[in-house]
Structure 1
Amino acid sequence: MTKLDGQSLNIEAKNIEKQLELFPEINVDGKIDFDKLKQILGDYIEDSEERYRFTWNGKGEVLRLSQTPSKGTLRPAQEESKNWDDTENLYIEGDNLEVLKLLQKSYFNKVKMIYIDPPYNTGGDFVYKDNFKDNIQNYKKITGQVDSEGRNTTTNREYSGRYHTDWLNMMYPRLRLARNLLKDDGVIFISIDDHEVHNLKKLCDEVFGESNFVSNLVWQKKFSRANDARYFSTMHDHILCYTKSNIERSKGGWKIGLLPRGDETPAGYGNPDHDTRGVWTSVVLSAKSGTEKLLYNITTPSGRVCSPPSGRYWSVSEERFKELVKDNRIWFGIDGDGTPRLKTFLSEVQDGLRPNSILFHDEVGHNQEAKQETKSLFDNKGVFDSPKPVRLLEQLLQIGNVAKNDIILDFFSGSSTTAHATVQLNAQDGGNRKFIMVQLPESTEEKSEAYKAGYKNIAEIGKERIRRAGEQIKEELKEKYESASKADKVEMKHPEELDIGFKVFKLDSSNIKEWNPGEYENIQLAIEDSLTPYVPGRTEEDVVYEMMLKMGLDLTYPVEKHDVNGKTIYSIGYGFLMICLADSIDISIAEKMIEIKDENGQQEFRALFRDEGFKSDTDKTNVKETLRSAGLAEESFITL
């Protein structure tokens, strides 16, 4: 049934619709590309004006946006964290564009693998609405932090008319910033469906370089046919794989991780001659090019004389061939009459299997498995609509060749499957991989099971999943450890050493006030207010972690507190950076800092104070000179 809207025919829209039907190639986000239409109708433009390029409306703006420094910070939320003092994992709640900017100093060139499952383009109005003027304030608005009416941050379904453009403007700046965080031997995997895989491929070619494209992996996400599909029953998603650098593998570039063999014999391997070295496969013994020395006759065990195939050469010399025959490495077929082939034993090749470009559901899991995994963790409640299976992420971590101490980043972390898989893999092989999860606190629908279960946004679901999955994995490891032999225990990770915690940080505006005398009735009030440089409601810990970010320190570095006459010294990274934000600082603070430095064996260190925090100018000079005498460099004496 068609419902009349009482409006007359939109002739302009109808004409555009007809043109787009006739010439689909002129369709640019639902509008007509008139230059392309002219060409189709025979009005050709000069070739000199044509060039291959990938562009869209707003590309230049979002490029600038990605290069604009963030004025925000990440505030610690210890009450929502787990094992705060010991963990090396991070969960960051906030707009990932701003978070990626804030991570640039501390994690530049440190991340081994990135996996993201960004919003697929459905034509909806994206939650991630970037704002050039003040993206932090914009973030607070879309998450309802400063809007008295409250806002639902889930996507609405109003078609914007910028189908591809909006999605590209959302992805482009984030990918550019993400690339900076990858190590030179780093790799990124991006899940996507058919609607935007073509644009994502072109986007990644630009950001990472065409030569760094590795593969378009196809994941079989379903195991049963959907007969109610309009055309085809869609059984797959894509996962694009790109490396950070095209440096040759032998010189430090990315090397693909091989998959464990298990007990199965790979396809193509057998042992028809019962060779004691085990199963083998065979390869041709000829090559396209060579010298005269590689042209000789071979007599098979059956007595047949054979030469290299027409136009080819044997790939080994006659002398080497005789050595291979003596070592039973040449296969002439069951009846001894075949063209010679070289045997390659499984026991002598690389210790693992090369991954396939098709990820079958029975090997890496499927959508239903993923839903059941989350339901089992959340008391059989379906709190998340489209999680990825843990087995899929585990295999990507193996393919990514993520070493036991590497960092993994997921900045569209959703239900935190990536974190779950990281902890699971650590439990299996004794690793200490660290994860960084980033998620916008996108509101859950009021009618959803998640909302009814008490989870008001997706970030709450992600954090709770990590808590529950970590405990489950630890209990399973305990059972395995307790039943293991003494010899096996030596190779295993002790359950108490497994890092199942995470530090929670939340995106916010800077803790440090901006100098803006225009906000005050007179300059005196402005000067008095500037003596307290913190934004009201912020703590010293907030400022400490902001300084760590601004100075490029890892947010998981240990932070110790030392009390000196009621004043607190924060020692970060075992005395590498020391911060005292108290009032009336005197020589006793400097002396304690030197003591902390010496106890930790630090050769170089930094000290940070409030500029107005010293008891007097003389005390400031004495503190500075005392620290300098202990080895503090001039530029390492820092004041706010």
Structure 2
Amino acid sequence: MTTLKMHTPNLVDSNIERLAALFPNCVTEKPKTDEQGKVIRDMNGEVVLERGIDFELLKQELSHSVIDGSQERYRLDWVGKREAIVTANSPIAKTLRPCRDESVDFETTGNLFIEGDNLEALKLLQESYLGKVKMIYIDPPYNTGNDFIYNDDFAADTAEFFERSGQVDADGNRLVANTESNGRFHSDWLSMMYSRLKLARNLLSDDGVLFISCDDNEQANLIKICNEILGENNFLASVIWKKKYGIQNDAKYFSINHDYIIAFCKQKNLYQQNYLPRTNEQDARYKNLDNDPRGVWKSENFSVGRVTEKDRYEIITPSGRKVTPPEGRSWVYSKEKFDGLNADNRIWFGKNGDNVPSLKNFLSEVKSGRTASTIWEYSEVGHTDKAKKDLKSLFDNQSYFDYPKPIELIAQIARLATNQDSIIIDFFAGSSTTAHAVMQLNAEDGGNRQFIMVQIDEPTDPKSEAFKAGYPTIAEISKERIRRAGAKIKTDNADKDGINELDTGFRVLKIDTTNMADIYYRPEDYSQDLLATLENNIKPDRSDEDLLFQFMLDTGVPLSLPIERTELSSKSGGHTIYQVGGNSLIASLDYIDANMVNDIAALNPLKFITSERAIATDSDKTNIKERFKQLSPHTDVRFI
């Protein structure tokens, strides 16, 4: 029997465990200190120790020479980098609360929309989606001087977390303007990105890939921090997207017509990139000038820019003309190989048989797709003007966003990086172009890709058209865009088979404080007399479904699994149990007795969770545990 933690994992502890497995000699015990660096002592005055790493020994383990102290090294550093690492690793006492009223097809959809700070969202997703995400695309603030940067000052270290039970101050979890007058202009942006990318990497599958849109302001720095987090050997490309079709004549120096899309994979030896569909223009280059039964073909140069004497031989054309390779070049193949190709009618000498030989390349024999290049034209993947027009077409001629990304751009990325059953995350969702593109791509190829959008509830300007139209936050616009886009995609593809089964729904989950009362985390703060008044360790305003989603987070169950409510009879009448993903998780939260235990155990759940309030006595708790051991011994039984 295990007690649920009801908070996100402490990544410091898990990192120490990993290092201990590799370098057990580097594990040590050291005095525990508070925020001011003062050694903590227990009630008897003894120094409190905690497990840690001897970093000097670890440095030596990772060095080919003797470490003699601080040395210069190649790395990107900035003020706040260490704090960013602590921020990423520190646990939080938060949860995700379902919001059925704002969701679409809540019971059946595999898609998620998480409303709240994306750093907290990434922490909350660590167990349920660890290593399960095939593709991450983000379009973070470009740090132009007018952007808003996430202020992560609320992040507590491990000791502070357990003291405060995840409470944050009034200044926490807010957006702040990052103007160029800020002395930490680059540092704040880098810290914001570093902590989020560290957590995002954990979610990627081993064959997963990360794409990040950016401009020149932070492109160089972004590549450097990705090199550090994902490894420079996993760098794929810095794609140039031509986002505008016109020149800005009022630009002071250059008209900036492009953005970058930085691409990194998690493990390059496992990442398999798809081909892009061939274009009509490419296929139009293939003709059948000699009515070859193998179909259309395109001629290719039969000489190559190298000098290999054995491949510089004389060829006699059908007209009788003798030809040799141009100066400084050789034929592509040897004389023996040429003779075989010529006998197979794979050499073209022109209609009159008098031309220099060329090689016939048949369309039926080339690969079905094309390799992506590092320059993407707006004619293929859209431009900013089209993106705004597409958004306006959904919102009664209002775009509400200045620089949305084109649907075609994100769809192109997904074509390259995903298969039909992939999970795709965008934790800077904005207008949710990524969700729109995923649904559109699924409609085109019959895929079942799932998306997870994360968007902070950033307020819209009270003077803006969005606010006047009834959208008080960016998140509200984002959710409405998915609703409207899903409906439009089904209408536009009404004649397609299976279009009604296309998943255009999403579960709305909102980040909130933990469902557990403070007593759950720090019971030592309560006296025996006070404890008598605190029979329930769950906050009074939380529903069973709130608790269910926190269980799913805590036990690593995907949040998109179908949830079924079932009534079981018991001594006191009918009671509801929740079945998540069939038998992946079963929860009984309001009541449980021996008969119900027998019925639930017969379902062979992988995990079973109930609460203290659902049982009458401690002996019942023991009996439940023992009964599961007899009837379903593999079931992981937990109580809160």
Normalising TM by the smaller chain, what interval? Answer: 0.7 to 0.9
Q: Is the 8 A contact 1:90 1:435 kept in 2?
A: yes
Determine which of 452, 456, 462 is the counterpart of 1:440.
456
- Cα-to-partner distance string for 1:345-402 (whole Å, 9 max, x where unaligned): 22211112323322222221111111111112111123222211111112221122x2
Match of 2:137 in 1: 115
Aligned partner of 1:254 in structure 2 is 272
SS at match of 1:175: helix
Q: Secondary structure at the match of 1:204?
A: helix
Partners of 2:386 and 2:328 in 1: how far apart? 53
Amino acid of the structure 2 residue aligned with 1:388: K
1:224-373 aligned at under 5 Å gives the runs: 224-247=246-269, 252-261=270-279, 263-266=280-283, 269=286, 271=288, 273=290, 275-276=292-293, 277-284=295-302, 297-305=314-322, 316-332=333-349, 336=353, 340-373=357-390
2:436 is aligned to: 420
1:495 maps to amino acid = I
**Secondary structure of residue in 2 paired with 1:301:** coil
- State the match for 1:503 in structure 2: 507
What amino acid sits opposite 1:505 in the alignment? L
Whole-angstrom distance in 2 between the partners of 1:363 and 1:226:
21
Q: Are 1:85 and 2:107 matched, yes or no? A: yes
The residue that corresponds to 2:575 in the other structure is 567
Q: What amino acid maps onto 2:617 in structure 1?
A: S
1:203 is aligned with what amino acid?
I
Cα distance, 1:632 vs structure 2: 2.6
- 1:586, 1:620 within 8 Å by CA — same for their partners in 2? no
Please say if 1:516 is aligned against 2:522: yes
- 1:66 is aligned, of 88, 98, 109, to 88
Secondary structure at the aligned position of 1:105 is classed as coil
SS of the equivalent of 1:107 reads: coil
Match of 2:199 among 149, 166, 177: 177
1:514-553 alignment, distance < 5 Å: 514-517=520-523, 519-520=525-526, 522-526=527-531, 528-529=533-534, 531-553=535-557
Moved more, 224-233 or 194-203: 224-233
Question: Counterparts of 2:485 and 2:176 in 1: how far apart (Å)?
Answer: 26
Match for 2:503: what amino acid?
A: D
Offset, 1:577: 1.5
Taking the aligned partners of 1:527 and 1:579, their CA distance within structure 2 comes to: 27
**1:19: which partner in 2?**
none
Please, what TM-score do these two structures have when normalized by structure 2?
Answer: 0.80
Shift of 1:496: 1.7
* Gap regions ≥5 residues in structure 2: 1-69
Q: Deviations along 1:210-256, whole A, 9 cap, x unmatched? A: 22222211112122222222222211111111222121xxxx42223
Give the Cα separation in 2 of the matches to 1:271 and 1:590.
Answer: 74
Kept in 2, the 8 Å contact 1:282–1:331? The answer is no
- Note closer, same or farther for the CA distance 1:268–1:278 as it changes in structure 2 (3 Å cut): closer
Tell me: CA distance 1:318–1:630, structure 2 relative to 1, closer, same or farther (3 Å). farther
Residues 259, 399 of structure 1: 8 Å contact kept: no
Q: Quote how far apart the aligned CAs of 1:516 are.
A: 2.5
Q: How many Å separate the matches in 2 of 1:230 and 1:541?
A: 56
Paired letter, 2:550? E
Distance in 1 (alpha carbons) for counterparts of 2:182 and 2:76: 21
Q: Distance in 2 between matches of 1:335 and 1:56?
A: 69
8 Å contact 2:138–2:213 — kept in the other structure?
Answer: yes
360-369 vs 339-348, which moves further:
339-348
Q: Among 448, 464, 467, which residue is 1:451 paired with?
A: 467
1:337 shift after superposition? 5.4
Q: Distance in 2 between matches of 1:310 and 1:156?
A: 60
The residue that corresponds to 1:408 in the other structure is: 424
Q: Secondary structure at the match of 1:395?
A: helix
Contact 1:185-1:255 at 8 Å conserved across structures: no
Q: Secondary structure at the match of 1:508?
A: strand
Which one of the candidate residues 405, 415, 419 is aligned to 1:388? Answer: 405
Gaps of 5+ in 1: 1-47, 144-150, 482-491
Once the two structures are TM-superposed, the CA of residue 410 in structure 1 deviates from its matched residue by 0.5
- Aligned partner (choices 589, 599, 607) of residue 581 of structure 1: 589
Aligned-partner Cα distance in 2 for 1:449–1:273: 63
Matched, 1:591 2:598: yes
Contact 2:111–2:450 (CA under 8 A) maintained in structure 1 = yes
Q: Is the CA contact 2:151–2:176 (under 8 Å) kept in the aligned structure 1? A: no
Deviations for 1:75-104, whole angstroms, at most 9, x for unmatched residues? Answer: 111111111011000000111111111111
Determine what percentage of the aligned residue pairs are the same residue.
46
Alpha-carbon contact 1:123-1:160 (below 8 Å) kept: no
CA distance in 1, matches of 2:390, 2:140: 20
RMSD: 2.8
Whether the 8 Å contact between 2:242 and 2:259 is mirrored in structure 1 is yes
Moved more, 185-194 or 314-323: 314-323
Whether the 8 Å CA contact 1:270–1:281 is kept in 2: the answer is no
Task: Tell me whether 531-540 or 426-435 shows the greater mean CA deviation.
Answer: 531-540
Alpha carbons 2:302, 2:357 under 8 Å: kept: yes
Match of 2:51 in 1: none
Count of residue correspondences? 556
- Provide closer, same or farther for how the CA distance between residues 535 and 141 of structure 1 changes in structure 2, counting only shifts above 3 A: farther
Letter in 2 for 1:323: G
> How does the TM-score come out when normalised to structure 1?
0.80
Aligned to 1:196: 218
Answer whether contact 1:285 1:342 (CA < 8 A) is retained.
no
1:609 corresponds to: 610
Deviations 1:570-625 (A, max 9, x none): 11111221111224x32022022134x1xxxx5x5221122453223443333333
Q: CA offsets per residue over residues 306-330 of structure 1, 9 Å max, x none? A: 5667787755454332221111212
Tell me the distance in 2 between the aligned counterparts of 1:139 and 1:368: 41
| Closer, same or farther: CA 74–289 of 1 in aligned 2, 3 Å | farther
Give the C-alpha shift of residue 537 in structure 1.
1.2
How far is 1:187 from its partner? 1.7
Q: CA deviation at 1:209?
A: 1.8
CA distance in 2, matches of 1:158, 1:320: 65
The separation in 1 between residues aligned to 2:261 and 2:109, in whole angstroms, is: 30
Write out per-residue CA displacement over residues 19-58 of structure 1, whole angstroms, 9 at most, x where no aligned residue: xxxxxxxxxxxxxxxxxxxxxxxxxxxxx95432211111
Q: In 1, distance between residues paired with 2:88 and 2:576? A: 37
